[in-house]
Amino acid sequence: MTRTALVTGGSGGIGRAVAQRLAADGMNVLVHYAGNPRRADEAVDAIREAGGTATAAQADVAEETEVAALFETAEREYGGVDVVVHTAGIMILAPLAELKLDDLDRMHRINIRGTFVVNQQAVQRVRGGGAIINFSTSVVKLALPTYSAYAASKGAVDALTPVLARELRGRDVTVNAVAPGPTATPLFLDGKDESTIEKLAKQPPLERLGVPDDIAEAVAFLAGPARWVNGQTIYVNGGIA
């Protein structure tokens, strides 16, 4: 039986790399997007051109009915869901004293509520032998200035992931989180000057920024052979912390 993966935020950046990697590993992939159907179609086309199977679907990850419909689409198209990778999230940076509370609320809604909503649907639908993979961030440990609100929203992901793993006792479904470090995506690079980027690239012992495929490699491990890794946050950052 061909396994099926649902990848939220799968239309760009790390999410797209994850969708393409899981498709290359032989999975059917439902590529979720929030508001840019053109990018989602491009991701699906790239998967199909490489010989994989994929479709795209839109949803607000913080809305229960829309996320339920997303899973129903995967079930209708492919017969079920085996792997859920929740990469969708937003990042708004500012010193804590200057952070707009509306921005805090937006990150809370997408990054925390969205994770709960996607995980709630996942636990009802993921088949035995499956995996739920959330996304955290290495900034939770790095404590970089201006990242307080974003890191706090991802700290919630670190907290809920092992709890959910234990709640799924007896289901043969693993629950883990991936915590990327500085990764060369448009989301990360936006607003940073060359000197800042160069400084960040020098921090890991490997002396480079991560790329989306580095993160996708870890996701593929958790989605496939890593059946004895459960309830963990895996730091994928080249040794930066």
Phi, then psi, of 190 in degrees rounded to 5: -60, 125
Strand partners, 175: 132
**Measured distance CA(124)–CA(53) in Å, rounded:** 24
- In a 10 Å sphere around its CB, with 0-12 CB exposed, 13-18 middle and 19+ buried, how is residue 53 labelled? middle
Residues 33, 78, 147, 150: which is the catalytic one?
A: 150
In the residue annotation, 150 being an active-site residue is answered as yes
Q: Kindly state the DSSP code that residue 237 receives in the 8-state scheme.
A: S
Angle 235-239-240 (CA atoms, 0-180°, nearest 5)?
90
What's the CA gap between 11 and 188, in Å, rounded? 16
Which residue numbers are catalytic?
150
